[in-house]
A and B are shown apart, each in its own frame.
Chain A
């Protein structure tokens, strides 16, 4: 579904990603983890076609990223968007329909219905007329998920969905993603490895290069390569073991 081959990317002289190879299959629920500044967000933006690689090739759904952009949903990091912007919940959700609406000067009835369905799915339909600036961090996050869902994506990318969100909502987000994963492929970026609970099917560790692991667990070898220093693994009494026995 997504193929990344020999990918290189650098900002100015600083290499962010080198020789990355990655294949993501249909129906996956993959966690992209790694240290801050390791290139997780950059990798996602390359796959989405927001950034262009210096070398290498990316195909998404058999097309170059730009061409496939409208078949992908994207929930960016919560922190990058102005919190005082005067806009309603519904108007944010409708942005997910931009690709379908094209340059028509207004959204169609069908677009509005689809946006409302997406809001309903994340439990925000009753707030559709509220200004976004009145919402809590978790509610804003849900609206951004609705915006991505409104575009009927085949693949959903989420960048740090649990940042600035309370514990209770973190669990809700992952339950929602698990539900969505029945029909779409999901890629979640997080610097927090505790998300590797029962939800995730595979893991990709990103730190300049990518290590892919076909199961929801991290090996010590992966961590060693990732963080370039001995890392103490702290295993809590979680229902699903995320760390290999060691």
Chain B
């Protein structure tokens, strides 16, 4: 494994690890709360933040932090206020965010940055300062979830009952969506905003069937994500493929394998 002697490779590893932790935790909450579509909306709309940062000339990741958190809060308020129409409005925000990003990038004079790196990630080119931001956001997410674990658990399992017991479910829901936005920032360098949904859903789905608690589902999801990131990284380096896409396809391979194994196990059960 001498490829990991290069500094960019070490950074890539660190980035993959940090993204795996955040996405394992938040992805689990996304899956059990059935808000995959909402997380997709936040991830894609965040592209507006990239364009905005270019246009105004500050660091793209900071642009994404501000923009995606704002979008998350808007989506949270919309979906809390009107559950039935929420999906339509999220769909619109999803597209508007992306369109805004592209237009703002068009309007930015001077050199054109490769926007593809934000859409599909560029894990081999993560600078140190981005790692620092990713670490900080990870700590924030981890701290929030650990501190309010029993409340998040109650809200995810039975929101109505949790509310009756005095759990501030609205505030927790908004906090969850903000954490999704922070996850988008963490993962943007790793697999990009378009592929983030796969990182949110594949590992938690596989983990859900094998877990006895939400806590172990999170740990298992982190583990799976690490395996996907590591294996994908190595394969992409070895065969000169785009890293983000390779990581996701490794995850997808595991996903379909686990689906097949589950079906197979069921057949064995029925057969015996």
- A50 near B164 with CB under 8 A, answer yes
Which A residues lie within 8 Å of B147 (CB)? 105
Given A86-B208, A147-B161, check contact A99 B217 (CB 8 Å): no
Number of residues of chain A lying within 8 A (CB) of chain B: 32
Q: Mark A68-105, 1 if CB is under 8 A from B, else 0.
A: 01101010100011101111100110111011011101
Report whether over half of chain B's contact residues are helix, strand or loop; otherwise say mixed: helix
For the complex formed, measure the closest distance between the CB of A67 and the CB atoms of chain B, giving whole angstroms: 10
A95 touches B166 (CB 8 A): no
Number of A-B residue pairs with CB-CB distance less than 8 Å in the complex they form:
77
A217-B146 Cα distance, complex, nearest whole Å? 52
Closest to A104 in B: B150
Cα A74 to Cα B163 in complex, Å, equals: 11
Residues of B close to A72: CB separation below 8 A:
164
Q: How far is the CB of B116 from chain A (nearest CB, A)?
A: 37
Whether B166 and A102, one on each chain, are in contact in the complex, defined by CB atoms closer than 8 angstroms, is yes
Query: Are A74 and B164 within 8 A (Cβ)?
Result: yes
Q: Are B164 and A87 in contact (CB under 8 A)?
A: no
A205 interfacial by beta-carbon distance below 8 Å: no
Picked from A82, A88, A106, A151, the residue with its CB within 8 Å of the CB of B165 is: A151
Whether, in the assembled complex, A131 has its beta carbon less than 8 Å from a beta carbon of chain B, the answer is yes
- Neighbouring A residues of B162 by C-beta, 8 Å: 95, 98
Total interface residues in chain B, CB < 8 Å? 28
Tell whether B167 is near chain A: CB-to-CB under 8 Å.
Answer: yes
1/0 per residue B241-258: CB within 8 Å of A?
000000000000000000
Say yes or no: is B153 at the interface (Cβ < 8 Å to chain A): yes
Which of B165, B166, B209, B216 has the most C-beta atoms of chain A within 10 angstroms of its own C-beta? B165
- Could you tell me if B165 and A92 are in contact, using CB atoms closer than 8 angstroms? no
Query: What are some 15 contacts across the A-B interface (CB < 8 A)?
Result: A50-B160, A50-B163, A69-B165, A82-B32, A84-B209, A85-B32, A88-B213, A95-B153, A95-B158, A95-B162, A98-B162, A98-B166, A99-B166, A101-B150, A106-B150
List the interface of chain A (C-beta within 8 A of B).
48-50, 69-70, 72, 74, 76, 80-82, 84-88, 91-92, 94-96, 98-99, 101-103, 105-107, 131, 147, 151
